[in-house]
Structure 1
Amino acid sequence: MSEHRYGDERIVDWLNQERNWSYPRNVPYHPRSDSHGGAQCRYFVDDLLYESDAIREAAAAGELVYQEDYEVGEGGLSWNTDLVIGPPADSVQASLDGDREMAQANPAEIYLAADAKSIMTEHQKARRNRQRDINSFADIMHHHHEKALTAGILLVNLAEEFDSPLRDPDDITDHVHIERIVGEIIEMFDSINRSEGEISANLDGAGVVVVRHSNLIDDIGDSELVTEPPAPQPGDRIHYRTLVQQMADWMEARFLS
């Protein structure tokens, strides 16, 4: 068996792949695409399966499924959720020969929900929006599914310049004081009220993944995971792998014991 690689490393591989977008410019990352969030959530599923024997066994038995882009609620209290995990609404046969060891199907009940967001450029404007997104996600999810665990995953860019496909081709954004700003973003997301493992309306966990990604075509293949400060350090509750461990432990205790 090959060594497991966590989602914080694998999302960098995703950014380093050359793709042909249907947008005006072919770039690895596009803010109007949800492809990066989908990839991050699928890696999160794989990490939970790796982290927990109980989750892996339940998935192999067809007792747990995952679904992407799942609509929770209706009207003003609805949310398109990037990822949900729970027992299947209908009997399913888990396929262990595919990309992941959990079948994809609609759940009858939600055990865990995750929202994947990113701040790749215009950090000052985007950080408050992403904070509101994560808080709203937790509020709406718990309104409809009180016991569900809610996890926020945030991808943050530390590159000093970024080529946004929403700007003119020669309008490259310079990120001034980027290390300080990314540090402030991490502190902001770490300060979001947490459930601390109890059933509450608060967010259950958050993980920040810091990358250095310019989005410049000439730099494809050069993106990297940032592990030194200001990125979260191993053991920090805002570290991505701490989030994985917490969600696996709490999911076992709340739903699989």
Structure 2
Amino acid sequence: MRGTQILVRTLSKPTREDRFGNRWQYHSRSDHHSKVACWGIVFDLMLGCSLLRRHVDEGRVAFGINHEMRDFVHDRKKNLDLVLCTPSAGQAPTAGRTLEIMAADYEVDLSDEERAILSTLPTLREAPVGSVLMALEAKACMTAHQRALPRLYDELNSSHLTVHGATDQAIAAGFTMVNVAERYLSPDLNKKTRATDPEWSLHRQPRDAGLAVDKIRQLPKRSKPGDVGYDAISIVLVDCVNDGSPVSLMETPPAPQEGDIYHYASMIDRLAHIYATRFKDL
């Protein structure tokens, strides 16, 4: 599994610039971290699911970015970070940007080995969305953990409800990133004073991260179509001070351990299995 290493390597570089000229690794007003996380998930999923590779190679599956899904039951709508889909009106996705181009657009930091692996995969392209097969939603909890939890939960919960309200067969996948850094440089609190008088946000760790992990674990999950909840969801803990220092993964508790259903590898394995069984007749 390479997606989490790609994510922290990419976030280690301050590439998000605000209107005051500050450059940040993470900015809550940017969707950069979400798109990089989703890119890594698709990369790992392509490696782990032979049926998906075949569907991509045959032009049956494409991807969409910021796709608006509308809940048929309650008429609510939500933009999903990334979806795997059939091309609209049966069109072959021959002209859209590729997964490789998307990596360049979002400044995804790939190693030479990862670039070589990507070159061996069938070309996945962006295309107008027909039927959604899998919808990916990525959210982060980086600071003020306890205060952020109600909104984080509501946003994540509304995603799977909207996806399955639109089409019950679609796979709803969630990726959550929780910060375990003991201090954090918030872009919202340091718009004009970062260089001269930075204001640090202090966290009680690992308590604060543990609160977020526990809240995410309360989200509903489902084991089959017709039920309510996410088909797969992961929790990844990162140490991100957001001051330009390297971002790293935290793999000790409260991070989910290997074999835990919230572990990143468990999510990828589950998504690959569900895709292979649910869409074998695509």
> What's the TM-score once normalised by structure 1's chain length?
0.90
The letter for the 1-side match of 2:202 is D
Deviations 1:143-170 (A, max 9, x none): 1112111011001100000000100332
Q: Which residue of 2 aligns with 1:36?
A: 33
Matches within 5 A, 1:140-151: 140-151=162-173
SS at match of 2:17: coil
Q: Does 1:172 align with 2:196?
A: no
Q: Percent identity?
A: 26
8 Å CA contact retained: 2:141, 2:212: no
Matches within 5 A, 1:201-216: 201-216=228-243
Q: Which residue of 2 aligns with 1:196?
A: 223
Q: Which residue of 2 aligns with 1:104?
A: 126
Deviations 1:167-200 (A, max 9, x none): 0332110102x21221232222223221113332
Q: How many angstroms apart in 2 are the aligned matches of 1:97 and 1:113?
A: 20
**Aligned to 1:159, which of 141, 166, 181?**
181
Q: Which moved more, 1:24-33 or 1:90-99?
A: 90-99
Q: Which moved more, 1:185-194 or 1:161-170?
A: 185-194
Q: Which moved more, 1:197-206 or 1:6-15?
A: 197-206
Q: How many angstroms apart in 1 are the aligned matches of 2:19 and 2:276?
A: 42
The letter for the 2-side match of 1:131 is Y
Q: Which residue of 2 aligns with 1:247?
A: 271
**Aligned to 2:47, which of 46, 50, 58?**
50
SS at match of 1:108: strand
Q: Identify unmatched segments of 5+ residues in structure 1.
A: none
Q: How many angstroms apart in 1 are the aligned matches of 2:99 and 2:6?
A: 20
Deviations 1:95-131 (A, max 9, x none): 6875563111122101110110000111111122111
**Aligned to 2:256, which of 232, 238, 242?**
232
Deviations 1:53-109 (A, max 9, x none): 111111111111111101112896010111111211122238687556311112210
Q: Identify unmatched segments of 5+ residues in structure 2.
A: 104-117
8 Å CA contact retained: 1:146, 1:201: no
Q: How many angstroms apart in 2 are the aligned matches of 1:11 and 1:197?
A: 30
Q: Which residue of 2 aligns with 1:182?
A: 209
Aligned length: 249
The letter for the 1-side match of 2:36 is A
Q: Which moved more, 1:184-193 or 1:159-168?
A: 184-193
Q: CA deviation at 1:18?
A: 3.1
Q: How many angstroms apart in 1 are the aligned matches of 2:65 and 2:48?
A: 21
Q: Does 1:138 align with 2:160?
A: yes
Q: Does 1:18 align with 2:14?
A: yes
- Tell me which stretches of 4 or more aligned residues in structure 1 moved more than 4 Å: 94-100
Q: Which residue of 1 aligns with 2:86?
A: 87
8 Å CA contact retained: 1:197, 1:250: no
Q: Does 1:121 align with 2:121?
A: no
Q: How many angstroms apart in 2 are the aligned matches of 1:18 and 1:88?
A: 35
8 Å CA contact retained: 1:142, 1:200: no
